[in-house]
Amino acid sequence: MKKFSSNKLLIILLSAVALTSCNKSSKGVSTLTGWEYNDPKYGGFETNPSFRETPPPPGMVLIEGGTFTMGSVQDDVMFDWNTTPVKQQVRSFYMDVAEVTNREYVLYLQYLEKVFPPSDDTYRKIYQAALPDTLVWRNTLGYNELLTENYLRHPAYADYPVVGVSWRQATEYCKWRTDRVNEKILIEKGVLHTLFDHDSLKVEGANRFDTETYLANPNLLFDGDSSIYYKGIKDYSKKSGEKPKGSFTGRHVKISDGILAQRFRLPTEAEWEYAAKAEVENREYNSIRGRKKYSWDGNTTREDSRRYQGDQLANFKQGKGDYSGLAGWSNDGADITMRIKSYKPNAFGLYDMSGNVAEWVADVYRPIIDNDANDFSYFRGNVFEKKKIDEFGNVVVVDYNSVEFDTLDNGKLVPKDLPGSIKYVPITKRDAFMRRNYEKAYNIDSRDGDLASTNKFQMMDDEMDDDIKPRMYNSPEIPRQIGESGLIIQQYDTKTRHTLISDQTRVYKGGSWKDRAFWLDPSQRRYLPEYMATNYIGFRCATDKLGQMSYSKRRKEGRKVK
């Protein structure tokens, strides 16, 4: 009996020690100073020792980074050196398993229509700027009016990839998606009320959550209405005390909490090509066996398995006047686009990386990928910016009552920034003074068309007249004369031009329902001005993965050879 009581006492003591240890580890202790984090007695300095890898965002899959040969194609019938093979390293990231669909894009339109009603003259053009160009289906010698009227909104096409979206529109959708994902996270955490169900928020346009503004200063959102916030997370820097019922308690979420999702964006060209090739299925230990011509393994566009032998593996144009093959046989299932996920995914779990629609990527187009300049996470299109600060040292937020618009080269008006978002300005020479990694804000034409790339590199920008500044690419320049209504006055360029390449041309990748099999190779690349749209280009989003490259430990064994 005494022995049993001693054992019982020992168990209780061990449990108490373990519990104390758990409580201490949950706070976290500085391994270099011994100070305890998250403890008011030690200043309440914060850390998140319990942080674990966050799961992929909704609709996305992890693409584990690695090295690959970018631009390596098996067919280059044009011999234009547009796909010169270069070795590149890609960081791990998340990517949508399929293209953004009509259903998802219409949700975006419905949101804009509710928050920025077109009936309000202040916001009318915001909604209009996001509308896809449904007239891309028209053809002077073809009958497609049914598609211009129904493709975007009819439920029969709800799960088809959205088209008629320009690069600019796709980029704005990515920004909107960032805010909606983080808004839902804060609602589920109890920090935010459900916005559309909150009585005190009556101002149209102010009923919008913006991630960057929230992180900078939550009181700048919702036109200063702080009652939208319900409760915060625990604030260790203050002693707990009684608060008036209904008041905001705790503190707002910070980046260091690891709660909010990272910014959604278009994938870079290197990321998109790496994800599409999915050479991980051709891996043998630390090398790649063979070359892939398509996003699937094999050098043909047809299924070689016994059960489905001969079936097409993608939706593409099979020949002149042949978009789907014969009915009942060799039919790829569609004459135009088709429902997403209709074909098997590639080795990364991504659907339709070859065929269905081509896709916008983030990069500005140039014929050469310069891996001598950078072979790590390559991207051309950087314009480095900083938050605009007013004379009182506060970040500047776009006014809810006045929206500034920009006129594109095709005459369309687009908002420069949405109300409630932070204003950004390019960095100055002072900001880049004595830096080794960059010297200026505008880096789109870096080492390929900027002043330093020409034989007049020794001349400073301010010493040259605008009319005689050297340009690498002689692309058309539309005169920027804006009328009183804000619309561009249409004029035509009378000078002789030799190229369409400019700093506004963006890359799109992958073949589409309208392309021959040649363009299904992920390494092939084409370009179009960022303000134009077609009936065969869509997009999907990507976002960065923080922390280690993969969830799993490195496996030493190679793949099994069939």
DSSP 395: B
Neighbours of 30 (CB within 10 A): 12
- Within 10 angstroms of residue 481's Cβ, the number of other Cβ atoms is 10
Q: In a structure prediction context, what are the per-residue pLDDT tens digits for the chain, which is 562 residues long?
A: 444 456 655 555 555 545 444 444 446 898 899 999 888 888 888 888 878 888 899 999 999 999 999 998 877 776 777 888 899 999 999 999 999 999 999 999 999 999 999 888 888 899 999 999 999 999 999 999 999 999 999 999 999 999 999 999 999 999 999 999 999 999 999 999 888 777 666 567 788 899 999 999 999 998 888 888 888 888 887 766 656 666 788 899 999 999 999 999 999 999 999 999 998 888 888 887 777 889 998 888 888 777 777 788 899 999 999 999 888 877 888 999 999 999 999 999 999 999 999 999 999 999 888 888 899 999 999 999 999 999 989 999 998 888 888 888 888 889 999 999 999 999 999 999 999 999 999 999 888 866 667 666 555 455 555 555 566 777 777 766 665 555 666 677 777 777 888 899 999 999 999 999 999 999 999 999 999 999 999 999 999 999 888 876 655 444 444 4
Start-end ranges of CATH 3.90.1580.10 in the chain?
A: 60-99+260-381+509-529
pTM here?
A: 0.89
Give Dmax (Cα) for the chain.
105
Q: Which CATH class is domain 60-99+260-381+509-529?
A: alpha beta
Tell me the one-letter amino acid at 10: L
* Residues contacting 152, CB < 8 A, separation 6+: 102, 105, 106, 132, 134, 162, 164
Q: Which residues are CB-contacts of 90 (< 8 A; sequence separation ≥ 6)?
A: 63, 65, 66, 67, 68, 270, 271, 274, 377
Q: Are 409 and 402 contacting, i.e. CB atoms less than 8 angstroms apart?
A: no
59 is written with which tokens? 């609709």
The SS3 call for residue 127 is helix
Which tokens belong to 77?
């019938």
Dig out the tokens for 330 from the structure.
Answer: 């060799």
Asked if 236 and 40 count as a contact pair (C-beta separation under 8 A), the reply is yes
What phi and psi values does residue 305 have, to the nearest 5 degrees? -70, 155
Residue 216: closest CA among 404, 393, 415, 47: 393
Q: Who's near 383: CB < 8 A, 6+ residues apart? A: 426, 441, 442, 443, 444
